[in-house]
Structure 1
Amino acid sequence: MIGSKIGKIKIIKENLFRPRQKMHVVTKVSDDKRTIIEIDNRKAMDVYQEELGYTDATIEEGVFRNPLNLVVGNENYIAAIFSFNKDRSISTFKNIMKNDLICFTDIEEDFKGFIENNIRGATQKETVEGIFSINCILRYLFFDNIKYTSSYSELLHKCANGNHFGIIGDGEQYIEQHINQSMVCAIFTKNR
Protein backbone atom coordinates (compact mmCIF):
# COMPACT_ATOMS: atom_id res chain seq x y z
CA MET A 1 0.00 0.00 0.00
CA ILE A 2 1.33 3.41 -0.97
CA GLY A 3 0.01 6.85 -0.19
CA SER A 4 0.75 10.55 -0.58
CA LYS A 5 0.21 13.40 1.85
CA ILE A 6 0.84 16.17 -0.71
CA GLY A 7 -1.02 15.10 -3.83
CA LYS A 8 -2.47 12.32 -5.93
CA ILE A 9 -1.14 8.99 -7.02
CA LYS A 10 -2.03 7.86 -10.51
CA ILE A 11 -1.61 4.12 -11.16
CA ILE A 12 -1.15 2.99 -14.75
CA LYS A 13 -0.40 -0.30 -16.44
CA GLU A 14 1.32 -0.56 -19.75
CA ASN A 15 1.83 -3.45 -22.07
CA LEU A 16 3.32 -3.36 -25.53
CA PHE A 17 0.91 -5.82 -27.08
CA ARG A 18 -2.34 -5.38 -28.92
CA PRO A 19 -4.87 -8.19 -28.85
CA ARG A 20 -5.71 -9.95 -32.07
CA GLN A 21 -9.35 -10.05 -33.10
CA LYS A 22 -9.82 -13.82 -32.98
CA MET A 23 -10.95 -15.08 -29.57
CA HIS A 24 -10.28 -18.58 -28.25
CA VAL A 25 -11.61 -20.62 -25.34
CA VAL A 26 -9.23 -22.53 -23.09
CA THR A 27 -10.78 -26.00 -23.01
CA LYS A 28 -8.26 -28.00 -20.94
CA VAL A 29 -5.67 -26.97 -18.33
CA SER A 30 -3.33 -28.74 -15.93
CA ASP A 31 -4.32 -29.19 -12.29
CA ASP A 32 -2.08 -26.29 -11.22
CA LYS A 33 -3.67 -24.07 -13.93
CA ARG A 34 -0.26 -23.02 -15.26
CA THR A 35 -0.30 -25.19 -18.38
CA ILE A 36 -2.81 -24.85 -21.19
CA ILE A 37 -3.31 -28.27 -22.72
CA GLU A 38 -6.08 -27.41 -25.18
CA ILE A 39 -7.46 -24.28 -26.82
CA ASP A 40 -10.73 -24.68 -28.72
CA ASN A 41 -10.51 -28.47 -28.10
CA ARG A 42 -7.18 -28.68 -29.96
CA LYS A 43 -3.57 -28.92 -28.79
CA ALA A 44 -2.68 -25.45 -27.51
CA MET A 45 0.61 -25.17 -29.39
CA ASP A 46 -1.03 -26.19 -32.68
CA VAL A 47 -3.57 -23.36 -32.37
CA TYR A 48 -0.83 -20.87 -31.45
CA GLN A 49 1.42 -21.87 -34.35
CA GLU A 50 -1.40 -21.93 -36.86
CA GLU A 51 -2.60 -18.42 -36.07
CA LEU A 52 0.84 -16.80 -35.69
CA GLY A 53 2.72 -18.68 -38.39
CA TYR A 54 5.46 -20.11 -36.19
CA THR A 55 7.14 -23.47 -36.77
CA ASP A 56 8.65 -25.74 -34.13
CA ALA A 57 12.03 -24.18 -35.00
CA THR A 58 10.85 -20.54 -34.61
CA ILE A 59 8.19 -20.75 -31.90
CA GLU A 60 10.47 -19.49 -29.09
CA GLU A 61 10.35 -16.04 -30.75
CA GLY A 62 6.74 -15.85 -29.60
CA VAL A 63 7.72 -15.61 -25.93
CA PHE A 64 8.74 -11.95 -26.30
CA ARG A 65 6.60 -10.94 -29.29
CA ASN A 66 3.27 -12.78 -28.98
CA PRO A 67 2.24 -13.57 -25.40
CA LEU A 68 -1.25 -14.72 -24.53
CA ASN A 69 -3.94 -12.23 -23.56
CA LEU A 70 -6.57 -13.05 -20.96
CA VAL A 71 -9.80 -11.16 -21.66
CA VAL A 72 -11.82 -10.15 -18.58
CA GLY A 73 -14.77 -7.98 -19.54
CA ASN A 74 -13.31 -5.02 -21.43
CA GLU A 75 -9.84 -5.43 -19.90
CA ASN A 76 -6.82 -7.27 -21.28
CA TYR A 77 -4.21 -8.96 -19.09
CA ILE A 78 -1.00 -10.41 -20.52
CA ALA A 79 -0.17 -14.01 -19.63
CA ALA A 80 3.50 -14.58 -20.39
CA ILE A 81 4.60 -17.86 -21.91
CA PHE A 82 6.95 -19.91 -19.73
CA SER A 83 7.48 -22.77 -22.17
CA PHE A 84 6.26 -24.62 -25.22
CA ASN A 85 6.15 -28.28 -24.26
CA LYS A 86 6.82 -31.55 -26.09
CA ASP A 87 3.20 -32.64 -25.58
CA ARG A 88 2.14 -29.48 -27.54
CA SER A 89 0.85 -27.69 -24.41
CA ILE A 90 1.84 -24.15 -23.38
CA SER A 91 2.94 -23.32 -19.83
CA THR A 92 2.39 -19.79 -18.56
CA PHE A 93 3.46 -17.60 -15.66
CA LYS A 94 -0.18 -16.69 -14.92
CA ASN A 95 -2.98 -19.00 -13.84
CA ILE A 96 -5.33 -19.74 -16.71
CA MET A 97 -8.63 -21.47 -16.02
CA LYS A 98 -10.72 -23.78 -18.13
CA ASN A 99 -13.25 -21.70 -20.12
CA ASP A 100 -11.13 -18.53 -19.91
CA LEU A 101 -11.42 -16.37 -22.99
CA ILE A 102 -8.02 -15.61 -24.52
CA CYS A 103 -6.54 -14.22 -27.67
CA PHE A 104 -3.04 -13.98 -29.02
CA THR A 105 -1.22 -10.67 -29.29
CA ASP A 106 1.16 -8.76 -31.53
CA ILE A 107 3.81 -6.40 -30.24
CA GLU A 108 3.19 -2.76 -31.17
CA GLU A 109 5.20 -2.04 -34.32
CA ASP A 110 6.49 1.25 -32.89
CA PHE A 111 6.53 0.14 -29.28
CA LYS A 112 9.21 2.71 -28.36
CA GLY A 113 6.94 5.53 -29.59
CA PHE A 114 4.00 3.88 -27.84
CA ILE A 115 5.92 3.84 -24.53
CA GLU A 116 6.98 7.46 -24.88
CA ASN A 117 3.45 8.64 -25.77
CA ASN A 118 1.95 6.62 -22.91
CA ILE A 119 4.26 7.87 -20.15
CA ARG A 120 4.31 11.46 -21.43
CA GLY A 121 0.50 11.41 -21.73
CA ALA A 122 0.19 10.23 -18.14
CA THR A 123 2.55 12.92 -16.80
CA GLN A 124 2.31 16.01 -19.04
CA LYS A 125 -0.61 17.77 -17.31
CA GLU A 126 0.69 17.02 -13.82
CA THR A 127 3.34 18.42 -11.51
CA VAL A 128 5.18 15.13 -11.13
CA GLU A 129 7.07 14.59 -7.88
CA GLY A 130 8.21 11.07 -8.73
CA ILE A 131 7.49 7.77 -10.43
CA PHE A 132 7.79 4.29 -8.96
CA SER A 133 7.71 1.59 -11.64
CA ILE A 134 7.67 -2.19 -11.65
CA ASN A 135 8.66 -3.86 -14.91
CA CYS A 136 8.28 -7.56 -15.54
CA ILE A 137 11.57 -9.44 -15.90
CA LEU A 138 10.58 -10.60 -19.42
CA ARG A 139 9.97 -7.01 -20.47
CA TYR A 140 13.37 -6.04 -19.06
CA LEU A 141 15.09 -8.94 -20.85
CA PHE A 142 13.43 -7.93 -24.13
CA PHE A 143 14.57 -4.31 -23.72
CA ASP A 144 18.06 -5.43 -22.76
CA ASN A 145 18.28 -7.73 -25.77
CA ILE A 146 17.45 -4.89 -28.18
CA LYS A 147 19.66 -2.35 -26.31
CA TYR A 148 16.73 -0.17 -25.21
CA THR A 149 17.13 -0.34 -21.41
CA SER A 150 19.16 2.89 -21.02
CA SER A 151 16.86 4.96 -23.25
CA TYR A 152 13.81 3.62 -21.40
CA SER A 153 15.32 4.45 -18.02
CA GLU A 154 16.25 7.97 -19.20
CA LEU A 155 12.68 8.56 -20.41
CA LEU A 156 11.19 7.60 -17.04
CA HIS A 157 13.83 9.64 -15.18
CA LYS A 158 13.01 12.71 -17.29
CA CYS A 159 9.22 12.31 -16.94
CA ALA A 160 9.69 11.91 -13.16
CA ASN A 161 11.70 15.15 -12.94
CA GLY A 162 14.72 13.15 -11.80
CA ASN A 163 12.79 11.13 -9.21
CA HIS A 164 12.27 7.72 -10.77
CA PHE A 165 12.71 4.51 -8.84
CA GLY A 166 12.14 1.27 -10.70
CA ILE A 167 12.37 -2.40 -9.90
CA ILE A 168 12.06 -5.62 -11.86
CA GLY A 169 9.47 -8.17 -10.81
CA ASP A 170 8.40 -11.58 -11.99
CA GLY A 171 4.76 -10.62 -12.36
CA GLU A 172 2.83 -7.53 -11.42
CA GLN A 173 -0.49 -6.95 -9.69
CA TYR A 174 -2.96 -4.52 -11.21
CA ILE A 175 -6.25 -4.08 -9.41
CA GLU A 176 -7.31 -7.73 -8.88
CA GLN A 177 -5.31 -9.35 -11.67
CA HIS A 178 -1.82 -10.79 -11.85
CA ILE A 179 -0.23 -9.67 -15.12
CA ASN A 180 2.99 -10.40 -16.99
CA GLN A 181 5.24 -8.66 -19.51
CA SER A 182 3.84 -5.33 -18.41
CA MET A 183 4.80 -2.26 -16.43
CA VAL A 184 2.78 -0.96 -13.53
CA CYS A 185 3.73 2.42 -12.17
CA ALA A 186 2.65 4.91 -9.56
CA ILE A 187 2.96 8.54 -10.60
CA PHE A 188 3.15 10.87 -7.61
CA THR A 189 1.88 14.40 -8.26
CA LYS A 190 1.44 17.62 -6.29
CA ASN A 191 -1.97 18.17 -7.86
CA ARG A 192 -4.96 17.16 -5.79
Structure 2
Amino acid sequence: MKQFFGMSRNGDLKEAARGVTRPQFIMLLSNGDQFEAHVKELEALFPGVPSIGCIGMSYDTKVVEKGVGVIAFSEGVSAAANVLEEVSVMPVKYIDRLEQDVKSVNGTERDTICIDFCTGNDACVLTTIYSVLKRRNISLVGGTGDAGKVSANGRVYEDAVVYGVIKNQNGRVKAYKENIYHQMQNHRFIASGTDKARYILGTLNGRPARQVYQDILKISEQEITTQTFKNPFGKLNGDDTCIVSIKEVQGDALCCFRQVNDSDVLLLLELGDYRAIVKNTIRKIKHDFPNISAVFSVNCLFRYLLFTQEHYMQEYLNEMSALGRHAGLVGYGEHYNNRFVNQSMTCVVFE
Protein backbone atom coordinates (compact mmCIF):
# COMPACT_ATOMS: atom_id res chain seq x y z
CA MET A 1 0.00 0.00 0.00
CA LYS A 2 0.97 3.63 -0.34
CA GLN A 3 0.44 6.59 1.99
CA PHE A 4 0.20 10.10 0.58
CA PHE A 5 0.50 13.26 2.67
CA GLY A 6 -0.33 16.64 1.22
CA MET A 7 -0.77 19.97 2.95
CA SER A 8 -1.55 23.62 2.44
CA ARG A 9 -0.56 26.17 5.04
CA ASN A 10 -3.21 28.60 3.81
CA GLY A 11 -6.02 26.05 3.87
CA ASP A 12 -6.28 25.34 0.14
CA LEU A 13 -7.69 21.81 0.04
CA LYS A 14 -7.14 21.37 -3.70
CA GLU A 15 -3.47 22.17 -3.18
CA ALA A 16 -3.23 19.71 -0.28
CA ALA A 17 -4.94 16.96 -2.30
CA ARG A 18 -2.90 17.52 -5.44
CA GLY A 19 -1.19 14.23 -6.14
CA VAL A 20 -3.87 12.02 -4.61
CA THR A 21 -4.69 9.35 -7.19
CA ARG A 22 -7.23 6.55 -6.83
CA PRO A 23 -7.43 6.79 -3.02
CA GLN A 24 -9.02 3.95 -1.08
CA PHE A 25 -9.20 5.78 2.27
CA ILE A 26 -8.68 9.46 3.20
CA MET A 27 -8.11 11.36 6.45
CA LEU A 28 -8.79 15.11 6.56
CA LEU A 29 -6.98 17.18 9.21
CA SER A 30 -8.28 20.72 9.02
CA ASN A 31 -8.70 23.96 10.97
CA GLY A 32 -11.73 25.20 12.88
CA ASP A 33 -12.64 27.97 10.45
CA GLN A 34 -12.62 25.85 7.29
CA PHE A 35 -13.44 22.36 8.54
CA GLU A 36 -17.04 22.13 7.37
CA ALA A 37 -16.23 23.58 3.95
CA HIS A 38 -13.27 21.22 3.59
CA VAL A 39 -15.42 18.20 4.44
CA LYS A 40 -17.85 19.04 1.62
CA GLU A 41 -15.04 19.86 -0.79
CA LEU A 42 -13.19 16.62 -0.08
CA GLU A 43 -16.31 14.57 -0.78
CA ALA A 44 -16.80 16.46 -4.05
CA LEU A 45 -13.19 15.80 -5.07
CA PHE A 46 -13.32 12.09 -4.17
CA PRO A 47 -16.98 11.03 -4.10
CA GLY A 48 -17.68 7.74 -2.41
CA VAL A 49 -14.15 7.22 -1.07
CA PRO A 50 -14.29 6.26 2.64
CA SER A 51 -13.05 9.23 4.67
CA ILE A 52 -12.82 10.53 8.21
CA GLY A 53 -11.73 13.93 9.46
CA CYS A 54 -11.18 16.14 12.47
CA ILE A 55 -9.84 19.53 13.48
CA GLY A 56 -6.18 19.40 14.36
CA MET A 57 -2.61 20.01 13.29
CA SER A 58 -0.99 17.53 10.93
CA TYR A 59 2.58 16.66 9.98
CA ASP A 60 4.99 14.64 7.92
CA THR A 61 8.47 16.18 8.06
CA LYS A 62 6.91 19.54 8.97
CA VAL A 63 3.94 20.57 11.10
CA VAL A 64 0.89 22.26 9.57
CA GLU A 65 -0.51 24.37 12.39
CA LYS A 66 -3.32 26.34 10.75
CA GLY A 67 -3.93 25.06 7.23
CA VAL A 68 -5.08 21.66 6.07
CA GLY A 69 -3.51 18.23 5.72
CA VAL A 70 -4.69 15.23 3.72
CA ILE A 71 -3.53 11.65 4.31
CA ALA A 72 -4.59 9.14 1.67
CA PHE A 73 -4.07 5.37 1.46
CA SER A 74 -4.04 3.68 -1.93
CA GLU A 75 -2.78 0.69 -3.89
CA GLY A 76 -3.67 -2.19 -1.68
CA VAL A 77 -6.08 -1.38 1.12
CA SER A 78 -9.75 -2.06 1.58
CA ALA A 79 -11.53 0.26 3.98
CA ALA A 80 -14.84 1.26 5.47
CA ALA A 81 -15.54 4.55 7.27
CA ASN A 82 -18.46 5.33 9.55
CA VAL A 83 -19.63 7.06 12.73
CA LEU A 84 -20.98 6.22 16.18
CA GLU A 85 -23.19 9.08 17.35
CA GLU A 86 -24.38 10.28 20.77
CA VAL A 87 -21.06 9.33 22.36
CA SER A 88 -21.76 11.39 25.48
CA VAL A 89 -24.89 9.34 26.11
CA MET A 90 -24.93 5.94 24.41
CA PRO A 91 -22.40 5.16 21.66
CA VAL A 92 -23.32 1.46 21.88
CA LYS A 93 -26.65 2.36 20.24
CA TYR A 94 -24.83 2.49 16.88
CA ILE A 95 -22.44 -0.42 17.39
CA ASP A 96 -23.99 -2.51 14.62
CA ARG A 97 -22.38 -0.10 12.12
CA LEU A 98 -18.92 -1.08 13.31
CA GLU A 99 -19.84 -4.75 13.39
CA GLN A 100 -20.93 -4.58 9.75
CA ASP A 101 -17.83 -2.63 8.69
CA VAL A 102 -15.43 -5.09 10.33
CA LYS A 103 -17.31 -7.87 8.59
CA SER A 104 -17.30 -6.11 5.21
CA VAL A 105 -13.51 -5.64 5.13
CA ASN A 106 -13.06 -9.14 6.59
CA GLY A 107 -10.56 -7.73 9.07
CA THR A 108 -8.05 -9.86 10.98
CA GLU A 109 -5.49 -9.22 13.71
CA ARG A 110 -2.64 -9.60 11.24
CA ASP A 111 -3.67 -7.11 8.57
CA THR A 112 -6.35 -4.72 9.90
CA ILE A 113 -6.36 -1.54 11.99
CA CYS A 114 -9.12 0.74 13.23
CA ILE A 115 -8.29 4.47 13.20
CA ASP A 116 -10.66 6.78 15.08
CA PHE A 117 -11.19 10.50 15.68
CA CYS A 118 -13.39 11.42 18.64
CA THR A 119 -15.09 14.53 20.06
CA GLY A 120 -15.01 13.41 23.71
CA ASN A 121 -16.07 10.84 26.32
CA ASP A 122 -13.10 8.88 25.01
CA ALA A 123 -12.89 6.16 27.66
CA CYS A 124 -16.51 5.12 27.13
CA VAL A 125 -16.12 5.29 23.35
CA LEU A 126 -13.04 3.08 23.37
CA THR A 127 -14.67 0.49 25.61
CA THR A 128 -17.60 0.39 23.18
CA ILE A 129 -15.50 0.13 20.02
CA TYR A 130 -13.11 -2.40 21.49
CA SER A 131 -15.97 -4.69 22.45
CA VAL A 132 -16.27 -5.36 18.71
CA LEU A 133 -12.59 -5.21 17.71
CA LYS A 134 -11.40 -7.62 20.40
CA ARG A 135 -13.46 -10.45 18.89
CA ARG A 136 -10.95 -10.46 16.03
CA ASN A 137 -8.04 -8.97 18.02
CA ILE A 138 -7.99 -5.92 15.74
CA SER A 139 -5.94 -3.03 17.13
CA LEU A 140 -7.00 0.61 17.32
CA VAL A 141 -5.07 3.87 17.06
CA GLY A 142 -6.64 7.32 17.18
CA GLY A 143 -7.17 10.53 19.04
CA THR A 144 -9.37 13.41 20.10
CA GLY A 145 -9.87 16.29 17.68
CA ASP A 146 -10.47 19.93 18.53
CA ALA A 147 -13.68 21.98 18.71
CA GLY A 148 -16.09 19.07 19.14
CA LYS A 149 -16.50 18.24 15.45
CA VAL A 150 -15.51 15.25 13.32
CA SER A 151 -16.47 14.03 9.87
CA ALA A 152 -17.17 10.80 8.02
CA ASN A 153 -17.89 10.33 4.34
CA GLY A 154 -18.64 13.97 3.63
CA ARG A 155 -20.78 14.74 6.69
CA VAL A 156 -19.89 16.70 9.83
CA TYR A 157 -20.88 15.31 13.23
CA GLU A 158 -20.82 16.58 16.80
CA ASP A 159 -20.86 14.35 19.88
CA ALA A 160 -19.51 11.47 17.82
CA VAL A 161 -16.59 9.21 17.03
CA VAL A 162 -15.69 8.55 13.41
CA TYR A 163 -13.58 5.60 12.40
CA GLY A 164 -11.97 3.83 9.51
CA VAL A 165 -11.48 0.07 9.43
CA ILE A 166 -8.51 -0.44 7.11
CA LYS A 167 -7.20 -3.76 5.83
CA ASN A 168 -3.72 -3.98 4.34
CA GLN A 169 -4.08 -6.36 1.41
CA ASN A 170 -0.32 -6.70 0.96
CA GLY A 171 1.02 -7.36 4.43
CA ARG A 172 0.81 -6.92 8.17
CA VAL A 173 -0.16 -4.01 10.40
CA LYS A 174 0.82 -3.36 14.00
CA ALA A 175 -0.02 -0.68 16.57
CA TYR A 176 2.52 0.85 18.96
CA LYS A 177 2.37 3.20 21.95
CA GLU A 178 5.29 5.31 23.15
CA ASN A 179 5.62 6.64 26.71
CA ILE A 180 8.48 9.04 27.46
CA TYR A 181 7.82 9.14 31.23
CA HIS A 182 8.68 6.94 34.21
CA GLN A 183 7.82 6.94 37.91
CA MET A 184 9.38 9.75 39.93
CA GLN A 185 11.04 8.30 43.04
CA ASN A 186 8.42 6.34 45.00
CA HIS A 187 5.52 8.80 44.74
CA ARG A 188 2.36 6.69 44.71
CA PHE A 189 -1.14 7.83 45.63
CA ILE A 190 -4.71 6.69 46.14
CA ALA A 191 -7.11 9.11 44.44
CA SER A 192 -10.27 10.33 46.14
CA GLY A 193 -12.66 13.26 45.98
CA THR A 194 -12.96 12.71 42.24
CA ASP A 195 -15.69 13.92 39.91
CA LYS A 196 -15.80 11.54 36.96
CA ALA A 197 -17.98 13.78 34.82
CA ARG A 198 -15.68 16.80 35.16
CA TYR A 199 -12.37 14.88 35.35
CA ILE A 200 -11.67 16.35 38.80
CA LEU A 201 -8.98 14.92 41.06
CA GLY A 202 -9.70 16.15 44.59
CA THR A 203 -7.27 14.51 46.98
CA LEU A 204 -4.18 12.29 46.94
CA ASN A 205 -3.65 10.09 49.99
CA GLY A 206 -6.18 12.29 51.77
CA ARG A 207 -4.46 15.62 51.04
CA PRO A 208 -5.55 18.29 48.53
CA ALA A 209 -4.23 17.26 45.11
CA ARG A 210 -3.03 20.75 44.20
CA GLN A 211 -1.01 21.05 47.40
CA VAL A 212 0.54 17.60 47.04
CA TYR A 213 1.66 18.35 43.48
CA GLN A 214 3.10 21.74 44.44
CA ASP A 215 4.89 20.47 47.55
CA ILE A 216 6.64 17.60 45.78
CA LEU A 217 7.76 19.66 42.79
CA LYS A 218 8.32 22.91 44.72
CA ILE A 219 6.43 25.03 42.21
CA SER A 220 3.86 27.83 42.35
CA GLU A 221 0.20 27.32 41.51
CA GLN A 222 0.71 29.25 38.27
CA GLU A 223 3.36 26.77 37.11
CA ILE A 224 1.19 23.66 37.48
CA THR A 225 -0.35 23.63 33.98
CA THR A 226 3.04 23.76 32.25
CA GLN A 227 4.83 21.53 34.76
CA THR A 228 2.53 18.70 33.63
CA PHE A 229 4.61 18.56 30.41
CA LYS A 230 7.43 17.14 32.53
CA ASN A 231 5.51 15.68 35.47
CA PRO A 232 2.11 14.22 34.60
CA PHE A 233 0.39 11.57 36.68
CA GLY A 234 0.27 7.93 35.67
CA LYS A 235 -2.77 5.72 36.24
CA LEU A 236 -1.95 2.06 36.73
CA ASN A 237 -3.81 -0.15 34.28
CA GLY A 238 -2.66 -3.73 34.75
CA ASP A 239 0.95 -3.87 33.59
CA ASP A 240 0.61 -0.55 31.79
CA THR A 241 0.64 3.06 32.98
CA CYS A 242 -1.80 5.46 31.31
CA ILE A 243 -0.62 9.05 31.45
CA VAL A 244 -2.97 11.64 32.99
CA SER A 245 -2.31 15.30 32.11
CA ILE A 246 -3.34 18.23 34.26
CA LYS A 247 -5.63 20.69 32.51
CA GLU A 248 -6.11 23.36 35.17
CA VAL A 249 -6.36 24.12 38.87
CA GLN A 250 -9.80 24.29 40.47
CA GLY A 251 -9.44 25.49 44.04
CA ASP A 252 -7.51 22.79 45.90
CA ALA A 253 -8.34 20.23 43.22
CA LEU A 254 -6.81 19.46 39.83
CA CYS A 255 -8.86 19.15 36.66
CA CYS A 256 -7.36 16.54 34.32
CA PHE A 257 -7.65 15.64 30.65
CA ARG A 258 -8.88 12.15 31.40
CA GLN A 259 -11.09 10.56 34.01
CA VAL A 260 -9.73 9.56 37.40
CA ASN A 261 -11.89 7.52 39.79
CA ASP A 262 -11.93 7.18 43.56
CA SER A 263 -9.43 4.49 44.67
CA ASP A 264 -7.42 4.65 41.43
CA VAL A 265 -3.71 4.17 42.05
CA LEU A 266 -1.74 7.10 40.63
CA LEU A 267 1.99 7.61 40.24
CA LEU A 268 3.81 10.89 39.82
CA LEU A 269 5.86 10.62 36.64
CA GLU A 270 8.91 12.44 35.35
CA LEU A 271 10.26 12.99 31.88
CA GLY A 272 12.74 10.38 30.71
CA ASP A 273 15.45 10.55 28.06
CA TYR A 274 12.97 11.14 25.25
CA ARG A 275 15.62 11.18 22.53
CA ALA A 276 16.78 7.70 23.51
CA ILE A 277 13.19 6.47 23.91
CA VAL A 278 12.24 7.67 20.41
CA LYS A 279 15.33 6.01 18.94
CA ASN A 280 14.39 2.79 20.73
CA THR A 281 10.83 2.93 19.34
CA ILE A 282 12.17 3.40 15.82
CA ARG A 283 14.63 0.53 16.34
CA LYS A 284 11.83 -1.76 17.51
CA ILE A 285 9.59 -0.87 14.56
CA LYS A 286 12.43 -1.50 12.09
CA HIS A 287 13.11 -4.85 13.75
CA ASP A 288 9.44 -5.84 13.51
CA PHE A 289 9.01 -4.50 9.97
CA PRO A 290 12.04 -4.76 7.64
CA ASN A 291 9.77 -3.49 4.84
CA ILE A 292 7.52 -0.56 5.76
CA SER A 293 4.90 0.96 3.45
CA ALA A 294 3.62 3.64 5.82
CA VAL A 295 3.38 4.88 9.39
CA PHE A 296 0.42 6.90 10.70
CA SER A 297 0.83 8.39 14.18
CA VAL A 298 -1.02 10.51 16.72
CA ASN A 299 1.14 12.75 18.90
CA CYS A 300 -0.30 14.51 21.91
CA LEU A 301 -0.53 18.30 21.80
CA PHE A 302 1.47 18.42 25.04
CA ARG A 303 4.23 16.30 23.47
CA TYR A 304 4.26 18.71 20.55
CA LEU A 305 4.52 21.68 22.93
CA LEU A 306 7.24 19.98 24.99
CA PHE A 307 9.27 18.97 21.92
CA THR A 308 8.89 22.48 20.50
CA GLN A 309 9.96 24.02 23.80
CA GLU A 310 13.00 21.72 23.85
CA HIS A 311 13.81 22.54 20.18
CA TYR A 312 13.39 18.86 19.34
CA MET A 313 10.22 18.73 17.22
CA GLN A 314 11.91 19.05 13.84
CA GLU A 315 14.56 16.52 14.79
CA TYR A 316 11.81 14.16 15.95
CA LEU A 317 9.95 14.37 12.64
CA ASN A 318 13.18 13.85 10.72
CA GLU A 319 13.96 10.74 12.78
CA MET A 320 10.47 9.30 12.29
CA SER A 321 10.70 9.93 8.54
CA ALA A 322 13.59 7.45 8.44
CA LEU A 323 10.91 4.76 8.81
CA GLY A 324 9.53 5.69 5.40
CA ARG A 325 6.32 7.56 4.69
CA HIS A 326 5.31 8.93 8.08
CA ALA A 327 2.42 11.32 8.70
CA GLY A 328 0.02 12.05 11.50
CA LEU A 329 -2.18 14.16 13.74
CA VAL A 330 -1.46 16.31 16.78
CA GLY A 331 -4.28 15.18 19.06
CA TYR A 332 -5.84 16.23 22.36
CA GLY A 333 -5.79 12.69 23.72
CA GLU A 334 -4.47 9.47 22.26
CA HIS A 335 -6.16 6.12 21.75
CA TYR A 336 -4.45 2.75 21.87
CA ASN A 337 -6.72 -0.27 21.66
CA ASN A 338 -9.15 0.23 24.57
CA ARG A 339 -6.99 2.79 26.39
CA PHE A 340 -7.36 6.56 26.48
CA VAL A 341 -4.00 8.14 27.28
CA ASN A 342 -2.45 11.61 27.46
CA GLN A 343 1.00 12.93 26.52
CA SER A 344 1.76 9.85 24.45
CA MET A 345 2.36 8.80 20.87
CA THR A 346 0.39 6.00 19.26
CA CYS A 347 0.98 4.78 15.74
CA VAL A 348 0.17 2.07 13.24
CA VAL A 349 2.76 0.59 10.91
CA PHE A 350 1.81 -0.92 7.55
CA GLU A 351 4.06 -3.51 5.95
Identify whether the pair has TM-score above 0.5, normalized to the shorter chain: yes
Q: CA deviation at 1:9?
A: 1.0
Identity value in percent: 25
Most deviating of 136-145 and 55-64: 55-64
Q: Please tell me whether residue 106 in structure 1 is matched to residue 255 in structure 2.
A: no
Which residue of 2 is the match for residue 48 of structure 1?
213
Which residue of 2 is the match for residue 94 of structure 1?
258
Which residue of 2 is the match for residue 156 of structure 1?
320
Q: Answer whether contact 1:33 1:97 (CA < 8 A) is retained.
A: no
Find the aligned partners of 2:196 and 2:182 in 1 and give their Cα distance.
29
Q: Please tell me whether residue 18 in structure 1 is matched to residue 182 in structure 2.
A: yes
Q: CA deviation at 1:138?
A: 1.0
Q: Answer whether contact 2:196 2:261 (CA < 8 A) is retained.
A: no
Secondary structure (helix, strand or coil) at the match of 2:304 reads helix
TM-score (norm 2): 0.50
Which residue of 2 is the match for residue 63 of structure 1?
228
CA displacement 1:56-113 (0-9 Å, x = unmatched): 354344221000101012110001110123x1211110011111110110000x2112
Q: CA deviation at 1:177?
A: 1.5
Find the aligned partners of 1:166 and 1:57 in 2 and give their Cα distance.
32
The structure that has the greater radius of gyration is 2
Which residue of 1 is the match for residue 348 of structure 2?
186
Q: Answer whether contact 1:36 1:96 (CA < 8 A) is retained.
A: yes
TM-score (norm 1): 0.89
Which 5+ residue runs of structure 1 have no aligned equivalent?
A: none
Q: Answer whether contact 1:63 1:80 (CA < 8 A) is retained.
A: yes
Secondary structure (helix, strand or coil) at the match of 1:153 reads helix
- Pick aligned residue for 1:115 from 278, 292, 310: 278
Q: Cα RMSD over matched residues?
A: 1.6
Which 5+ residue runs of structure 2 have no aligned equivalent?
A: 1-113, 115-165
Which residue of 1 is the match for residue 298 of structure 2?
134
CA displacement 1:22-72 (0-9 Å, x = unmatched): 321101112524111111111001122223333435434422100010101
The residue type equivalent to 2:319 in the other structure is L
Q: CA 1:33 to 1:96, structure 2 compared with 1: closer, same or farther past 3 Å?
A: farther
Most deviating of 58-67 and 8-17: 58-67
Find the aligned partners of 2:183 and 2:282 in 1 and give their Cα distance.
20
Which residue of 2 is the match for residue 81 of structure 1?
246
Secondary structure (helix, strand or coil) at the match of 2:269 reads strand
Which residue of 2 is the match for residue 38 of structure 1?
203
Which residue of 1 is the match for residue 168 of structure 2?
4
